[in-house]
Amino acid sequence: MDRVEKIESAITSLPPEDFQRIAKWFHAIEQTRWDWQMDRDSAAGRLEFLFQEAQHETDDGLVRERSPAIESRTIE
């Protein structure tokens, strides 16, 4: 059994509370890596086309203001 299989086996045998704790921890790491990659891509100019597209849509009147209900939501 290789290292990943051992980890998978250990995770699947966890009690629900511990599994939930690991799942939250793993999700936080995944989000951090995603943010890091987005920052790298942005700094390298690979996302510039998205900014330009958003500006064109704004200029063309295709973007509308966000509703206050959406702005007041928090993300956990």
Reported as a single tens digit per residue, the pLDDT across 32-58 is 999 999 999 999 999 999 999 999 999
pLDDT digits (tens, 9 = 90+) for 16-27: 999 999 999 999
Count of structural domains within the chain: 1
Domain that holds residue 43: 3-71
Is pLDDT of 73 > 70?
no
The model carries a pTM of: 0.59
Q: Quick check: is 40 in a domain?
A: yes
Q: Is the pLDDT of residue 76 over 60?
A: no
* DSSP one-letter code for 14: S
| 76 inside domain | no
Distances (CA, A) of 13 to 3, 9, 10, 45: 16, 6, 5, 44
